[in-house]
Protein backbone atom coordinates (compact mmCIF):
# COMPACT_ATOMS: atom_id res chain seq x y z
CA UNK A 1 0.00 0.00 0.00
CA UNK A 2 1.39 3.39 -1.03
CA UNK A 3 1.78 6.33 1.33
CA UNK A 4 -0.84 8.21 -0.71
CA UNK A 5 -3.36 5.39 -0.12
CA UNK A 6 -2.60 5.33 3.60
CA UNK A 7 -3.04 9.12 3.75
CA UNK A 8 -6.36 8.89 1.89
CA UNK A 9 -7.67 6.19 4.23
CA UNK A 10 -6.54 8.21 7.26
CA UNK A 11 -8.32 11.33 6.04
CA UNK A 12 -11.42 9.31 5.16
CA UNK A 13 -11.38 7.71 8.62
CA UNK A 14 -11.40 11.11 10.28
CA UNK A 15 -14.23 12.26 8.02
CA UNK A 16 -16.30 9.15 8.82
CA UNK A 17 -15.72 9.59 12.55
CA UNK A 18 -17.04 13.16 12.38
CA UNK A 19 -20.10 12.03 10.42
CA UNK A 20 -20.82 9.20 12.87
CA UNK A 21 -20.46 11.55 15.82
CA UNK A 22 -22.77 14.12 14.22
CA UNK A 23 -25.46 11.45 13.85
CA UNK A 24 -25.07 10.11 17.38
CA UNK A 25 -25.30 13.49 19.11
CA UNK A 26 -28.67 14.12 17.43
CA UNK A 27 -30.17 11.40 19.60
CA UNK A 28 -32.12 8.18 18.96
CA UNK A 29 -35.34 9.76 17.69
CA UNK A 30 -33.60 11.64 14.86
CA UNK A 31 -31.56 8.76 13.48
CA UNK A 32 -31.98 8.48 9.67
CA UNK A 33 -33.27 5.06 8.61
CA UNK A 34 -31.85 3.30 6.66
CA UNK A 35 -28.24 4.13 5.96
CA UNK A 36 -27.24 4.53 2.31
CA UNK A 37 -23.92 4.13 0.55
CA UNK A 38 -23.11 4.74 -3.11
CA UNK A 39 -20.24 2.33 -3.77
CA UNK A 40 -18.93 -0.54 -1.67
CA UNK A 41 -15.46 1.04 -1.73
CA UNK A 42 -16.66 4.58 -0.95
CA UNK A 43 -14.40 5.79 1.87
CA UNK A 44 -15.28 9.24 3.16
CA UNK A 45 -18.31 11.14 4.41
CA UNK A 46 -19.50 11.93 0.87
CA UNK A 47 -19.77 8.25 0.03
CA UNK A 48 -22.47 7.31 2.55
CA UNK A 49 -25.25 8.70 4.74
CA UNK A 50 -23.77 7.22 7.94
CA UNK A 51 -20.18 6.98 9.06
CA UNK A 52 -18.53 3.65 8.12
CA UNK A 53 -21.63 2.41 6.27
CA UNK A 54 -19.80 1.46 3.05
CA UNK A 55 -18.77 -2.22 3.20
CA UNK A 56 -15.26 -1.29 2.08
CA UNK A 57 -14.61 -0.18 5.64
CA UNK A 58 -14.93 -3.77 6.83
CA UNK A 59 -12.06 -4.70 4.53
CA UNK A 60 -10.00 -1.84 5.98
CA UNK A 61 -10.75 -2.92 9.55
CA UNK A 62 -9.90 -6.56 8.81
CA UNK A 63 -6.69 -5.66 6.95
CA UNK A 64 -5.45 -3.40 9.77
CA UNK A 65 -6.45 -6.01 12.36
CA UNK A 66 -4.62 -8.93 10.71
CA UNK A 67 -1.59 -6.81 9.79
CA UNK A 68 -1.43 -5.58 13.38
CA UNK A 69 -1.44 -9.14 14.74
CA UNK A 70 1.34 -10.25 12.38
CA UNK A 71 3.40 -7.10 12.95
CA UNK A 72 3.15 -7.15 16.73
CA UNK A 73 3.99 -10.84 16.89
CA UNK A 74 7.05 -10.30 14.74
CA UNK A 75 8.27 -7.41 16.87
CA UNK A 76 7.63 -9.26 20.14
CA UNK A 77 9.93 -12.08 19.01
CA UNK A 78 12.81 -9.71 18.46
CA UNK A 79 12.52 -7.21 21.31
CA UNK A 80 12.17 -7.55 25.06
CA UNK A 81 8.70 -6.38 26.06
CA UNK A 82 9.04 -6.38 29.82
CA UNK A 83 8.65 -2.61 30.10
CA UNK A 84 6.03 -2.34 27.37
CA UNK A 85 4.05 -5.20 28.93
CA UNK A 86 3.79 -3.22 32.14
CA UNK A 87 2.57 -0.20 30.20
CA UNK A 88 0.31 -2.43 28.12
CA UNK A 89 -1.27 -3.76 31.31
CA UNK A 90 -2.53 -0.31 32.26
CA UNK A 91 -3.58 0.49 28.70
CA UNK A 92 -5.52 -2.77 28.77
CA UNK A 93 -7.22 -1.82 32.06
CA UNK A 94 -8.37 1.52 30.63
CA UNK A 95 -9.45 -0.06 27.34
CA UNK A 96 -11.54 -2.71 29.10
CA UNK A 97 -13.14 -0.21 31.45
CA UNK A 98 -14.10 1.94 28.45
CA UNK A 99 -15.76 -1.06 26.79
CA UNK A 100 -17.50 -2.10 30.01
CA UNK A 101 -18.93 1.41 30.40
CA UNK A 102 -19.83 1.66 26.69
CA UNK A 103 -21.59 -1.71 26.88
CA UNK A 104 -23.59 -0.53 29.91
CA UNK A 105 -24.72 2.59 28.03
CA UNK A 106 -25.76 0.53 24.99
CA UNK A 107 -27.56 -2.01 27.19
CA UNK A 108 -29.67 0.66 28.88
CA UNK A 109 -30.27 2.36 25.53
CA UNK A 110 -31.49 -0.70 23.65
CA UNK A 111 -33.71 -1.84 26.55
CA UNK A 112 -35.30 1.62 26.60
CA UNK A 113 -35.75 1.61 22.80
CA UNK A 114 -37.37 -1.83 22.81
CA UNK A 115 -39.77 -0.94 25.61
CA UNK A 116 -40.69 2.33 23.93
CA UNK A 117 -41.24 0.63 20.57
CA UNK A 118 -43.42 -2.12 22.05
CA UNK A 119 -45.50 0.43 23.97
CA UNK A 120 -46.00 2.90 21.12
CA UNK A 121 -46.64 0.62 18.13
CA UNK A 122 -50.02 -0.89 17.28
CA UNK A 123 -48.54 -4.38 16.93
CA UNK A 124 -46.81 -4.13 20.29
CA UNK A 125 -43.94 -6.53 20.96
CA UNK A 126 -44.15 -7.85 17.39
CA UNK A 127 -42.76 -4.48 16.23
CA UNK A 128 -39.52 -5.31 18.05
CA UNK A 129 -39.13 -8.51 16.02
CA UNK A 130 -40.34 -7.66 12.54
CA UNK A 131 -40.35 -4.53 10.38
CA UNK A 132 -42.21 -4.66 7.07
CA UNK A 133 -39.95 -1.99 5.58
CA UNK A 134 -37.47 0.63 6.70
CA UNK A 135 -40.29 3.15 7.01
CA UNK A 136 -41.64 1.15 9.95
CA UNK A 137 -38.23 0.47 11.51
CA UNK A 138 -38.01 2.29 14.85
CA UNK A 139 -35.33 5.03 14.60
CA UNK A 140 -34.36 4.55 18.25
CA UNK A 141 -33.66 0.83 17.70
CA UNK A 142 -31.66 1.64 14.56
CA UNK A 143 -29.71 4.25 16.53
CA UNK A 144 -28.52 1.77 19.14
CA UNK A 145 -27.79 -0.92 16.56
CA UNK A 146 -25.64 1.66 14.74
CA UNK A 147 -23.75 2.51 17.92
CA UNK A 148 -23.29 -1.22 18.53
CA UNK A 149 -21.79 -1.60 15.05
CA UNK A 150 -19.40 1.29 15.71
CA UNK A 151 -18.18 -0.40 18.90
CA UNK A 152 -17.06 -3.53 17.05
CA UNK A 153 -14.04 -2.06 15.19
CA UNK A 154 -12.89 -0.57 18.50
CA UNK A 155 -13.13 -4.02 20.10
CA UNK A 156 -10.51 -5.24 17.62
CA UNK A 157 -8.00 -3.51 19.88
CA UNK A 158 -8.57 -6.39 22.33
CA UNK A 159 -6.50 -8.67 20.14
CA UNK A 160 -3.77 -6.13 19.43
CA UNK A 161 -3.34 -5.41 23.14
CA UNK A 162 -3.12 -9.12 23.92
CA UNK A 163 -0.56 -9.60 21.15
CA UNK A 164 1.50 -6.63 22.33
CA UNK A 165 1.59 -8.16 25.81
CA UNK A 166 2.76 -11.52 24.45
CA UNK A 167 -0.49 -13.33 25.20
CA UNK A 168 -1.52 -16.32 23.04
CA UNK A 169 -4.48 -16.00 20.67
CA UNK A 170 -7.10 -18.64 19.92
CA UNK A 171 -8.99 -19.25 16.69
CA UNK A 172 -12.20 -18.52 18.59
CA UNK A 173 -10.94 -15.10 19.66
CA UNK A 174 -9.76 -14.00 16.21
CA UNK A 175 -12.76 -15.40 14.30
CA UNK A 176 -15.26 -13.87 16.72
CA UNK A 177 -13.71 -10.40 16.48
CA UNK A 178 -13.46 -10.54 12.68
CA UNK A 179 -16.94 -11.88 11.96
CA UNK A 180 -18.97 -9.83 14.42
CA UNK A 181 -18.09 -6.64 12.50
CA UNK A 182 -19.76 -8.09 9.40
CA UNK A 183 -22.66 -9.45 11.43
CA UNK A 184 -23.48 -6.07 12.98
CA UNK A 185 -23.10 -4.41 9.56
CA UNK A 186 -25.65 -6.83 8.07
CA UNK A 187 -28.18 -6.03 10.79
CA UNK A 188 -28.20 -2.39 9.68
CA UNK A 189 -27.90 -3.06 5.97
CA UNK A 190 -30.83 -5.50 5.80
CA UNK A 191 -32.92 -4.23 8.71
CA UNK A 192 -33.02 -7.20 11.07
CA UNK A 193 -35.17 -5.66 13.80
CA UNK A 194 -34.96 -8.44 16.37
CA UNK A 195 -31.16 -8.23 16.25
CA UNK A 196 -31.81 -5.68 19.01
CA UNK A 197 -32.33 -8.64 21.34
CA UNK A 198 -29.00 -10.09 20.28
CA UNK A 199 -27.45 -6.72 21.05
CA UNK A 200 -29.18 -6.71 24.45
CA UNK A 201 -27.66 -10.07 25.39
CA UNK A 202 -24.26 -9.16 23.95
CA UNK A 203 -23.96 -5.86 25.81
CA UNK A 204 -25.07 -7.53 29.05
CA UNK A 205 -22.36 -10.15 28.61
CA UNK A 206 -19.77 -7.53 27.71
CA UNK A 207 -20.49 -5.42 30.79
CA UNK A 208 -19.40 -8.39 32.88
CA UNK A 209 -16.71 -9.67 30.52
CA UNK A 210 -14.82 -6.42 30.09
CA UNK A 211 -15.09 -5.66 33.80
CA UNK A 212 -13.47 -9.04 34.37
CA UNK A 213 -10.77 -8.33 31.76
CA UNK A 214 -9.92 -5.04 33.51
CA UNK A 215 -9.73 -6.92 36.80
CA UNK A 216 -7.61 -9.73 35.32
CA UNK A 217 -5.25 -7.26 33.58
CA UNK A 218 -4.04 -6.26 37.04
CA UNK A 219 -3.05 -9.87 37.70
CA UNK A 220 -5.90 -10.56 40.12
CA UNK A 221 -7.76 -13.87 40.26
CA UNK A 222 -11.49 -13.94 39.61
CA UNK A 223 -13.24 -17.10 40.89
CA UNK A 224 -16.43 -16.63 38.79
CA UNK A 225 -14.72 -16.57 35.39
CA UNK A 226 -16.39 -19.78 34.22
CA UNK A 227 -19.85 -18.27 34.77
CA UNK A 228 -19.08 -15.51 32.26
CA UNK A 229 -18.34 -18.20 29.66
CA UNK A 230 -21.61 -19.93 30.58
CA UNK A 231 -23.44 -16.62 30.09
CA UNK A 232 -21.84 -16.32 26.65
CA UNK A 233 -23.07 -19.80 25.72
CA UNK A 234 -26.59 -18.90 26.93
CA UNK A 235 -26.41 -15.81 24.72
CA UNK A 236 -25.88 -17.89 21.57
CA UNK A 237 -28.59 -20.41 22.51
CA UNK A 238 -30.98 -17.48 23.09
CA UNK A 239 -30.23 -16.18 19.60
CA UNK A 240 -31.76 -19.34 18.11
CA UNK A 241 -34.77 -19.24 20.45
CA UNK A 242 -35.47 -15.61 19.51
CA UNK A 243 -35.42 -16.56 15.83
CA UNK A 244 -38.72 -18.46 16.27
CA UNK A 245 -41.00 -15.39 16.73
CA UNK A 246 -39.31 -13.71 13.78
CA UNK A 247 -39.89 -16.71 11.50
CA UNK A 248 -43.53 -17.00 12.60
CA UNK A 249 -44.15 -13.32 11.83
CA UNK A 250 -42.27 -13.68 8.54
CA UNK A 251 -44.59 -16.55 7.54
CA UNK A 252 -47.81 -14.93 8.78
CA UNK A 253 -47.39 -11.46 7.33
CA UNK A 254 -48.20 -10.83 3.71
CA UNK A 255 -45.10 -8.75 3.09
CA UNK A 256 -42.88 -10.78 5.39
CA UNK A 257 -40.17 -9.04 7.41
CA UNK A 258 -36.96 -7.24 6.61
CA UNK A 259 -33.66 -8.84 7.44
CA UNK A 260 -33.62 -12.40 6.11
CA UNK A 261 -30.10 -12.11 4.59
CA UNK A 262 -28.83 -10.76 7.93
CA UNK A 263 -30.53 -13.62 9.76
CA UNK A 264 -28.70 -16.15 7.58
CA UNK A 265 -25.37 -14.48 8.34
CA UNK A 266 -26.14 -14.30 12.06
CA UNK A 267 -27.27 -17.94 12.18
CA UNK A 268 -24.02 -19.10 10.62
CA UNK A 269 -21.92 -16.91 12.93
CA UNK A 270 -23.83 -17.82 16.09
CA UNK A 271 -23.68 -21.53 15.29
CA UNK A 272 -19.91 -21.30 14.90
CA UNK A 273 -19.60 -19.24 18.11
CA UNK A 274 -21.70 -21.74 20.05
CA UNK A 275 -19.67 -24.71 18.86
CA UNK A 276 -16.35 -22.98 19.60
CA UNK A 277 -17.42 -21.67 23.00
CA UNK A 278 -18.72 -25.08 24.09
CA UNK A 279 -15.44 -26.62 22.94
CA UNK A 280 -13.50 -23.93 24.84
CA UNK A 281 -15.59 -24.47 27.98
CA UNK A 282 -15.08 -28.23 27.95
CA UNK A 283 -11.35 -27.86 27.37
CA UNK A 284 -10.93 -25.20 30.07
CA UNK A 285 -13.37 -26.25 32.79
CA UNK A 286 -14.15 -29.89 32.02
CA UNK A 287 -12.67 -32.81 33.95
CA UNK A 288 -9.09 -33.71 32.96
CA UNK A 289 -8.81 -36.72 30.66
CA UNK A 290 -8.45 -40.01 32.46
CA UNK A 291 -4.94 -41.44 32.49
CA UNK A 292 -4.46 -44.78 30.88
CA UNK A 293 -3.36 -47.51 33.26
CA UNK A 294 -0.55 -49.60 31.79
pLDDT tens column, 41-62: 777 657 789 999 999 999 999 9
Q: Are 174 and 180 in contact (CB under 8 A)?
A: no
Average of per-residue pLDDT across 179-186? 96
* pLDDT confidence of residue 8: 76
Average per-residue pLDDT for the chain: 89
- Determine the pLDDT at residue 77: 60
The residue among 159, 166, 157 whose CA lies nearest residue 82 is 166
Cα–Cα dist 114/107, whole Å: 11
Distance between CA 194 and CA 128 in Å, rounded?
Answer: 6
Torsion over CA: 209, 214, 217, 220 (sign): negative
Instruction: Indicate the pLDDT class of residue 114, thresholds 50, 70 and 90.
Output: very high
Q: What is the mean pLDDT of residues 142-170?
A: 91
Q: How far apart are the first and last CA of the chain?
A: 59
Task: Go through 207-225 and write b for each residue having 16 or more CB atoms within 10 A of its CB, e for each that does not.
Answer: bbbbbbbbbebeeeeeeee
DSSP for residue 156: T
Segment 260-286, tens digit of pLDDT: 999 999 999 999 999 999 998 888 887
Q: How far apart are CA 219 and CA 211, in angstroms?
A: 13
Give the pLDDT band of residue 185 (cuts 50, 70, 90).
very high
Looking at residue 291, its pLDDT comes to 58
Average pLDDT score over residue span 96-105: 96
pLDDT band with cut points at 50, 70 and 90 for residue 292: low
Q: What long-range pairs does 283-288 form, CB within 8 A, spacing at least 24?
A: 284/226, 284/229, 285/226, 285/229
Residues of the chain above pLDDT 90, percent: 66
Residue 212 has pLDDT above 70, yes or no: yes
Would you state the pLDDT for residue 99?
Answer: 96
DSSP state of 80: -
Q: Is the pLDDT of residue 294 over 50?
A: no
The single-letter DSSP state of residue 165 is T
Whether the pTM exceeds 0.75: the reply is: yes
Amino acid sequence: MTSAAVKHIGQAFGSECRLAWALLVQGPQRMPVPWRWHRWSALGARGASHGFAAPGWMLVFWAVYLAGIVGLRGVSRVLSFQRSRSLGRWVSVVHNLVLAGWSAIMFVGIVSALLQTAASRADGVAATFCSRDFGSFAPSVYYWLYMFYLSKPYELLDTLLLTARGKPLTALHVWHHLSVVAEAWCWLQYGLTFAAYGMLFNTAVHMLMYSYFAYASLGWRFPLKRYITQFQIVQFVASFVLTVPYLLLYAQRRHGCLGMPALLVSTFCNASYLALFVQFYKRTYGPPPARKVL
